[in-house]
Structure 1
Amino acid sequence: KYLWEGVETYYSLITEAEELGLEIIGDVKRGDIGHTAEQYASAHLKNPELVGLEDTITPDAITISGFAGTEAIVPFADVADQQGKGIFVWVRSSNPGAAEIQDFADADGQKMYERIAKLVNQIATEQKRVGSSGYSNVGMIFGGASKEVAAALREKYDKIWFLIPGYGSQGASAADCVQFCKTDGTGALVNSSRSIIYAYEKPQYKEQFGDDWKRCIEQAIIDAKIDLSNAMQTLL
């Protein structure tokens, strides 16, 4: 939407977040195979070596689409390994229409997202990708799950970090999201974008802070942290 100025802003935000000591996930959702996938991976996970861009850095992890199979995942995973970074593979999205394709079952009753999750886990649990924490640097993006499905996935894929979309504006509750966490509170990253970025449009924050959009965003973050923390207590 904002062309090169948007790209410049993206990288300046990465730099600022890195200076603050934050973990950075680039939600780029890249998806291709072979050589093209390798180039995408290098572009998004390797720091550029071009003259004039020495201070530009890339995210700690990115999101990718793995619907083209192994050849769409391994090139990104390999570059992530080389750079000490990570990837999150899109397994199931949080939109209502996701079930139209991603819940489609084969003759054996296995749903599409289940097959993708199994493939991602095979790649993720190679010994070189599992760190001292017991988690892999290859994670899964999973939205729109019932509590039962989330709990089953958490138990089945114990070395996987789950990136959970849908919290806030898309309707997922904190209780829905924390089902992907282990009892020690690890294993899931809950993403909230629009409900934070556009908090200044919400009446409850406008009434408190008027046109001070920074205060609106700050309070929305605090409220989300409290909401998720309270939900976590049910798992402990």
Structure 2
Amino acid sequence: MKQLFSLLMIVGVSIFIFACSSQTKSELEMKSDNEKDSIESKPNVEVKTYKEPLTQVGENASHPFGVFVLNQLSKPNMKITAGPLYIQVERIKIVQSTDVSDIGKYNLKEKGLNTGKMNIIQLTTTLENTSDQPLYLEKGPIKTLVLSNGEQVNVNKMNVDPKDLSLKAKEKTEFTLICFLSQDPKNLKYVKVITDIVREQVTKKEVSPLKTVEIKM
């Protein structure tokens, strides 16, 4: 009887070990298959990371649009007052890419620009609504940029990321304007900023007309 009991115990333990072994093997096989699927699903072309901000003239950075170099940097830290709206222009950057990606060329073509080279102007600003009423800024607080080389940039047309913008009462927020340029601006002496009409959000009442401010580079 005792021998029979021992035999049953050995068989039971053997079945338990076999079951655990099979489960472990199954789990390992699933893990291996998942890892294989993950590897096979990765794109063949590695996406380059974009380092922002570029802080030194001559510094390079990779972006989905291409590889960019910072050609000019100005830190005017200048305030533009458009009625109750304050636009603090902190930095102006001129960047260029001669190694434009396919998606970059597509965006240039959409804007009617030459696809061989990408030139961009970037304004880093802080917007502040000093009034007790929300403000409606349509596509942004800036309508036109006039560069010292004679180029006039229609912001609504050349904006890389156009979208409606509004500010709550007493709200303060960061706003970065990035626009395509039609030519290499070389060394700019100044940028004239022409603000857009500022309206109250609810009534659409105009609280500030167009205003032109020259910023030295």
- In terms of fraction of residues, the more strand-rich structure is 2
Q: Which has the higher contact order (CA 8 A, sep 6+)?
A: 2
TM range (shorter): under 0.3
Higher-Rg member (1/2):
2
TM-score normalised according to structure 2 size = 0.26
TM-score normalised according to structure 1 size = 0.25
